[in-house]
A and B are shown apart, each in its own frame.
Chain A
Amino acid sequence: MLVHEEQCVGCGACMPFCPKEAISVYGIAEIDPERCVNCGLCAAYCPNDAIEGD
């Protein structure tokens, strides 16, 4: 999954929905590729269209 930095505001809405606790948000979202299983939930729950499947 890819975070578009210019779209991400750091609102953290994606973080609680990740089943793998792969997202940390501190001003901007970062996804740990080791943990991410590409389920796509974070992208669906992002209000700012900032996450995309890769």
Chain B
Amino acid sequence: MRACIVGAGLGGLLAAANLAREGFKVEVFEKLPYPGGRFTNLPYRGYQLSTGALHMIPHAERGPLGKMLRQLGAGVEIIPSQPQAKFRISGRDYEYEELPSLFPLRDKLKVAKIIAMLKLGRATGEESYRSWLEKQIRNELVFKIADSFTGWSLSLKASEVPAKEVIAQTKNINKLGGPGIPAGGCGGVTKALVDVLQSEGAELHLKQRVKAIKQKGGAFEVLAEEKRSYDIVVSNAGPKVTAELARTILPEEYARAVSRIKGAAGIKISVACKKPMLGHSGVLFTPEAERINGINEVTNAVPELAPPGEHLLMSHQRLAEGADVKREIELGLRDLRELFPDFKKYCRVLAVQVYRNSWPVNRAPSGTHLSPATPVKGLYIVGDAVKPEGWMETDGIAAGVEEALRHIKASY
């Protein structure tokens, strides 16, 4: 069985490594000169910036990605964040469990009840997380905390995510724990997966763009530098690009349906710091900041992501559709200066990176649940548009790859 993987992002690499282990003859085509897509390192002035991710894995070693890496024999240590998260409110940092103490008695019980309901993980209808919260409580701070969480992890406002998705995600956090930072950052994971491909005999072709996916006599014909034939094709190029590449074989309604999916956009600011500004390896949620949803300082767990003795701080903010990007960046930078009064003294902005359109934070908004199987038998989609319910970011990608493998194993 011959498998062609289009794109060497995390989704493509995971699919390729698994299929190679299952005995498929695997070839991966990547248009860029490097593998990893939005999940690899960008070395810059001694710091390991990234092509996308904030160097965190949502459920560290205990989620679908950690589990899959272990099963593949990809030896990457994922250091659990300690604490998982803090919330900066009125200049002080609180742990999640401390949040009810911030509210007047009248609301304290309601907040405790919301936390309990999130823990139980009871599913609801199609309402948004924001409307679900509004049914329990009317308190601006609660809504801001919710927006900072969904902004950081999904690049959406609480009003843009289905409540049942956030509830399922929170249930997984309660069960499996919070984030962790891979040794070597995102690049450490990508490198480990490329090593697995090599040891399993899969071929990785860089600087080779796939131009078309067609079918001929029961097999797929993939056009990159040359034309080659495969039994299955797994595309990591995103549903829209995939629909374009395979336009002669996919039904038009499918292409129309995926063309309507709107990705989520965001802005990441990477900062070089002469001293630790957070002092821990968890997420600092910033519900009261104008734009920034959260910040991490991964060098507290993985010091090699910065020069010796220095730190890498990264902020993330959701970017609304149609917003003035330069103004949003300015507001983000202003937030950083306000959150850290000694910012000017110890910190230097290394890069401001915007993710939108063809290179977004997320190709499909959380809660989309696109199937990895397409209407064409043998053609599958993996990556950040294919995340089963309850799984976010790269753990969602790994869970989507698991689902794709189930489909493939049932048919081949």
Residue positions of A touching B, CB distance < 8 A: 7, 9-13, 15-16, 25-28, 44-45, 47-48
Can you list 21 A-B contacts with CB-CB less than 8 angstroms, sorted by A residue number?
A9-B354, A9-B359, A10-B352, A10-B353, A10-B354, A10-B356, A12-B49, A12-B352, A12-B354, A13-B42, A13-B51, A15-B44, A16-B42, A25-B353, A27-B329, A44-B207, A45-B32, A45-B33, A47-B37, A47-B359, A48-B358
Q: Of residues 159 to 180 in B, which have CB atoms within 8 Å of A's CB atoms?
A: none
Q: How far is the CA of A7 from the CA of B32 in the complex (A)?
A: 16
A27 touches B34 (CB 8 A): no
Q: State whether the Cβ of B257 lies closer than 8 Å to any Cβ in chain A.
A: no
B32, B207, B356: the one within 8 Å of A47 (CB):
B32
Q: How far is the CA of A7 from the CA of B49 in the complex (A)?
A: 22
B359 surroundings in chain A (CB, below 8 A): 9, 11, 47-48
Q: How far is the CA of A47 from the CA of B356 in the complex (A)?
A: 12
Known pairs A27-B352, A45-B33 / 7 extra A-B pairs, C-beta < 8 Å: A9-B356, A11-B51, A11-B354, A12-B42, A12-B49, A26-B329, A27-B326
The contact string, 1 if C-beta is below 8 Å from chain A, for chain B 11-55, is 000000000000000000000111001000011100001011000
Q: State whether the Cβ of B131 lies closer than 8 Å to any Cβ in chain A.
A: no
B33 touches A44 (CB 8 A): yes
- Describe A's contact surface by its main secondary structure: loop
Residue in A7, A11, A15, A44 whose Cβ sees the most chain B Cβ within 10 Å = A11
Q: How far is the CA of A16 from the CA of B351 in the complex (A)?
A: 10
Residue positions of B touching A, CB distance < 8 A: 32-34, 37, 42-44, 49, 51-52, 207, 325-326, 329, 351-359
A27 surroundings in chain B (CB, below 8 A): 325-326, 329, 352, 354
A28 surroundings in chain B (CB, below 8 A): 325
Contacts A27-B325, A27-B329; A45 near B34 (Cβ below 8 A)? yes
A45 surroundings in chain B (CB, below 8 A): 32-34
A11 touches B355 (CB 8 A): yes
Q: How far is the CA of A10 from the CA of B355 in the complex (A)?
A: 7
Chain B residue nearest in CB terms to A13: B51
Q: How far is the CA of A32 from the CA of B358 in the complex (A)?
A: 25
B207 surroundings in chain A (CB, below 8 A): 44
B351 surroundings in chain A (CB, below 8 A): 12, 15, 25
CB distance from B41 to the nearest CB of A (A): 10
Q: How far is the CA of A48 from the CA of B352 in the complex (A)?
A: 17
Q: How far is the CA of A51 from the CA of B52 in the complex (A)?
A: 19
CB distance from B158 to the nearest CB of A (A): 25
Residue in B32, B37, B42, B43 whose Cβ sees the most chain A Cβ within 10 Å = B42
B49 surroundings in chain A (CB, below 8 A): 12, 16
